[in-house]
Structure 1
Amino acid sequence: MSALSRLCFAGFVLPGLSLPGFCLTVFAALGIGPASAETRVALVIGNGAYVSTAQLPNPSHDAEDVANSLKRSGFEVIQGVDLRQADMQDLTIRFARAASRADVAIFYYSGHAMQYNGVNYLMPVDAALTDEADLKRFVRVDDIVNDLQQAKNLRILVLDSCRDNPLADMLKRSATRAASVGRGLSKVEAPRGTIVSFSTQSGQVAADGAGRNSPYTTAFLKHIEEPHEIGDIFRDISSDVYDASGKTQLPELSLSIIGKFYLNGPVSVTIAPAAPQGPPRADPCASAEAHWKAADTIGTGGAFEDHLARFSSCSFASLAKARIEGLKQKVALAPATGESKTFDGKTFDGRWDVTVNCVGAGKALGYTRALSGTVANGVFHAEDLDQRTNSTLVIDGQIPADGKTTLTARGLTGPSAYTINNSAPGSPYAYTIDAQFERTRGSGKRNEARACNLVFVKR
């Protein structure tokens, strides 16, 4: 309960004002109310104990910690861990009913998810996926977004679920018609009054993390209870994940909110003397909307900064800040100014050191492996034989002029503890790597089965 709420409920009365009239007037003027006046609901799900695909160790911890955090912020929390299909449907129905009478609604999910033909799906722990018909057993993210829209003031969708899902590859192979099964999740544009936050960019895969919580949820828990404006909180979450991942994992963030919202904002009351009567002053925000439309059409940082300078206290200021922040993030990810993205045919020729770092997945342990490679006339080849375990890894491919390529990796497994399916030592395996080479460095990500990052350094 806020200090103002306690003051009203304690029976404090100003001279000449009745208690009910004073409290209702101040609450209405500030757009706030006592704790019971604003209804906040949340559905928090953590799925990790999967039956037909890789298990995830963190979602149960993520869900427990997020639920406790939201309860401290005044939310009525519906919580579920390791939900089967029927249980997941029951909780989403309960949440839809709760959101219809709520002022603020949050949906948080940690676990496996996937996209198919541009539609995102959340996976119950008992779901199998032999063909596209099995997707009816999953929960559509679009349906969750529709349920959130029933809340009156603020809606938040958080998906910490862009982990590598081997079942997506199975579906890709078994599809009976032309279909798109992409990596990660498909982008979701936030409807008005909504914040959408994914743990990484659309089409990318996020790390599950080696600690109690995933990297994204660690940042979420750090910031969500802070007394800051909600848009700033989610920008801080994105920034933390980006920095903590060595600038390899950037959360997808879409905000479509007008005005400022606080989950735990400070409450202050100032009773000012009445202003002297005089001619009405011009509304400083009267032309804000027209200026915003012009700035949004131009779309440059200078245009958005000009809007902020002119209309810093008006309705579109938050959107201008979000656009500026988005442009800054794009600049951070872009190659340095003047750096050519097109090279001649022998730019990459020479000897290269390759480091493969694979995080733990389910019961499989993580590992790091170093290889020596060469590039000759744009043809890449690297290989390694571990004499202790007789495991092998060979990486081959062609590097085009722009440095962007897909490499193929193949080899024989080592100890079973490091393999996804507890494969016997000496079992053959293969996967592909999306890579980007610069003049003396490069980076890559494994596409199938588990999350692995590769670093290439020219000697």
Structure 2
Amino acid sequence: MSFATLGSAISARFAIMRGLLGRAFAAVPAGLAVLLFSLPAQAVPERRVALVIGNSAYTAVPRLANPQRDATAISAALKRLGFEVVEGYDLRMDEMTGIVREFAQKLDGAKAGVVYYAGHGIAVGDENYLIPVDASLKSEADLDFRAVNVQLILRQMQRDERVNVLILDACRDNPFTTQLAARSRSVSRGLTAIETQSASGILIAFATDPRATALDGEKDGNSPFTSALLKHIETPEVSITTVMDRVRADVWESTGKKQKPWTNSSIIGEFKLNPTLKLAAVDPSVTIKAIDGAVPAPAAPAPVGLDRAQMDVRMWETAERGNTAGDYKAYLDAFPTGQFAAFAKNRLARLEPAAPVVAALPAAVGAAALSSAAVAALPASRETGQAVADAAMKGEVASAETEAALKLSAKDRRELQRRLSLAGFKPGKTSPNFGPSQRNAIKQWQTTRALAATGFLAPMQLKALRAQTEPAYQRALAEDARPAPAPRATRAVAREPAEPQVRNRGV
């Protein structure tokens, strides 16, 4: 049966379907209905795990300015993309091996693994090593005991079939190379090329060509490589290979053609760091049978063979294909608190300019005097949220009084601490009240939005923080709702010594 025939059959049954679905679907346009029930039953996001390490505070050689800052920014971006992130900063040798082991354990069952490392690295022969902050390398033999072989990490990533990405910003001008070169002819500048061998494919990226040296970047900034990566890593619906192509072009230009990032990929097909939810193809004959069985005689209606969550997914996918304001309004009418409501509002905000909202902020009243109803009416999107911050928050100085007026409950404060954490800030242990750690996290967030860093919140700022973190927050809630996996039977084995705790110094 052709897809056109399928569409005709579904259209013929749609009137009956709308009756069964009730008032929630009364606003669904007929064009959306053609695809709505032809899509498969499940679209569950797959687990993706990342390891992020940033080493700056070396003890035997001069400190590096940017790796810790680079790694912190990449970690925040990966969290926004839905990754479970294992992260560590300024790690000693025992801490680095410990965090690699923790990452390896979390990889179990994951469909994708990403490793990002910023710091010193060294190549000896065909082997690459990542150097912990406490390393003192007097001979080539020290590398086996005082540095982490990249092959150790690759073996953990390739134990199961998954897509893997290894990104090393570790090709900086390295004093360790000078120290060892006098004692070993096999020591070279930069890193050595790595061959890609993996069932599902792997992409390996260096900040610059093998055997070359990368720039660390300006003080209090990011390295040229990581700056470009941060620019492109969250671009929706772009494959990792395209992301790295864009990073290479940006770095080449920004460094005056002195640094060219290198990649080697064996990934089959496309792997996207920021995919929209895509659903698999469907057998038309099976779909027609399912619809026939789900549409009973009017006198004895029976439930449609799709639960509300599945209908939510299908209607969002259909609205996204249409990509019009009417489509997204139809989705929100049917699912005002659906899984993709925040995304639908974001799209509406882009399709329907938010200028009237900004213009409606009266100078006579002032931003701080906005009512809670006016704040709630603002569109929840990152783009318009930033525009509101620029236009309206400029005159809104948050204080203890503006925060008290918000009447935040203990539940609200816990929610905001989680949102700050998802955005890459560090509010400390979750508390029903805001203490020094939480105030400091709010200050850091305010600084990134060019706001007065008071550590308190005001109405417009609360709206912007929630809008900025909504996609990651919804993913976190969905992860919380997932049932815990059933325990697996294990054999008794000899107990191994406990791994030392990983210290996140300087974070």
Distance 1:267 1:96, change over 3 A: closer
Partners of 2:129 and 2:149 within 8 A in 1 = yes
Q: 1:391-435 deviations in whole A, cap 9, x for unaligned?
A: xxxxxxxxxxxxxxxxxxxxxxxxxxxxxxxxxxxxxxxxxxxxx
1:254 partner SS: strand
Q: Distance in 1 between matches of 2:53 and 2:38?
A: 37
The answer for the alignment partner of 2:86 in structure 1 is: 78
Q: Determine if the alignment matches structure 1 residue 158 to structure 2 residue 167.
A: yes
Q: Determine if the alignment matches structure 1 residue 149 to structure 2 residue 158.
A: yes
Distance 1:118 1:273, change over 3 A: closer
The AA in structure 1 aligned to 2:187 is V
Distance 1:171 1:271, change over 3 A: closer
Q: Determine if the alignment matches structure 1 residue 191 to structure 2 residue 201.
A: no
The answer for the alignment partner of 1:237 in structure 2 is: 247
1:217 partner SS: helix
2:105 partner SS: helix
CA apart distance, 1:164:
1.1
CA apart distance, 1:155:
0.2
Q: Distance in 2 between matches of 1:266 and 1:134?
A: 46
The answer for the alignment partner of 2:222 in structure 1 is: 213
The AA in structure 2 aligned to 1:138 is A
1:98 to 95, 98, 106: 106
Q: Determine if the alignment matches structure 1 residue 173 to structure 2 residue 179.
A: no
Distance 1:263 1:53, change over 3 A: same
Q: Distance in 1 between matches of 2:60 and 2:47?
A: 38
Q: Distance in 1 between matches of 2:71 and 2:165?
A: 16
The answer for the alignment partner of 1:222 in structure 2 is: 231
The answer for the alignment partner of 2:139 in structure 1 is: 131
Farther-moved stretch of structure 1 (93-102 vs 217-226) = 93-102
Bigger fraction of residues in helix: 2
Partners of 2:38 and 2:282 within 8 A in 1 = no
1:182 to 166, 188, 193: 188
The answer for the alignment partner of 1:297 in structure 2 is: none
Q: Distance in 2 between matches of 1:270 and 1:103?
A: 17
The AA in structure 2 aligned to 1:149 is Q
Q: TM-score, normalised by structure 2?
A: 0.46
Partners of 1:102 and 1:152 within 8 A in 2 = no
Q: Distance in 2 between matches of 1:225 and 1:79?
A: 19
Gap regions ≥5 residues in structure 1: 1-12, 276-459
Distance 1:224 1:23, change over 3 A: farther
The answer for the alignment partner of 1:201 in structure 2 is: 209
1:262 partner SS: coil
Distance 1:88 1:14, change over 3 A: farther
Partners of 2:39 and 2:279 within 8 A in 1 = no
1:229-378 aligned at under 5 Å gives the runs: 229-267=239-277, 274=284
Bigger fraction of residues in strand: 1
Q: 1:135-159 deviations in whole A, cap 9, x for unaligned?
A: 1210001111111113533100000
Distance 1:229 1:128, change over 3 A: same
What is the aligned residue count?
Answer: 251
Give the structure, 1 or 2, with the largest relative contact order (CA under 8 Å, sep 6 or more).
2
Q: Distance in 2 between matches of 1:125 and 1:143?
A: 18
Distance 1:16 1:26, change over 3 A: farther
CA apart distance, 1:24:
12
Partners of 2:164 and 2:203 within 8 A in 1 = yes
The answer for the alignment partner of 2:10 in structure 1 is: none
Q: 1:332-352 deviations in whole A, cap 9, x for unaligned?
A: xxxxxxxxxxxxxxxxxxxxx
CA apart distance, 1:27:
5.7
Identity within the alignment, %: 40
CA apart distance, 1:91:
0.1
CA apart distance, 1:55:
1.1
Q: Determine if the alignment matches structure 1 residue 89 to structure 2 residue 97.
A: yes
Q: Distance in 2 between matches of 1:196 and 1:265?
A: 20
Q: 1:182-212 deviations in whole A, cap 9, x for unaligned?
A: 1100001222310100000000000000051
2:57 to 46, 49, 56: 49
1:26 to 18, 40, 43: 40
Partners of 1:100 and 1:150 within 8 A in 2 = no
Partners of 2:113 and 2:157 within 8 A in 1 = yes
CA apart distance, 1:263:
2.1
2:188 partner SS: coil
CA apart distance, 1:174:
2.9
Q: 1:240-272 deviations in whole A, cap 9, x for unaligned?
A: 111111111001111111112222123366999
The AA in structure 1 aligned to 2:251 is V
Q: Distance in 2 between matches of 1:17 and 1:104?
A: 39
Partners of 1:242 and 1:249 within 8 A in 2 = yes
Distance 1:271 1:187, change over 3 A: closer
Q: Distance in 2 between matches of 1:267 and 1:160?
A: 30
Q: Distance in 2 between matches of 1:113 and 1:256?
A: 23
CA apart distance, 1:130:
0.7
Partners of 2:54 and 2:71 within 8 A in 1 = yes
1:121 partner SS: strand
Partners of 1:99 and 1:150 within 8 A in 2 = no
2:269 partner SS: coil
CA apart distance, 1:45:
0.2
The AA in structure 1 aligned to 2:234 is E
Partners of 1:40 and 1:103 within 8 A in 2 = yes
Distance 1:268 1:120, change over 3 A: closer
Q: Distance in 2 between matches of 1:215 and 1:125?
A: 22
CA apart distance, 1:274:
4.6
Distance 1:219 1:27, change over 3 A: farther
Q: Distance in 2 between matches of 1:123 and 1:23?
A: 54
Partners of 2:196 and 2:266 within 8 A in 1 = yes
Q: TM-score, normalised by structure 1?
A: 0.51
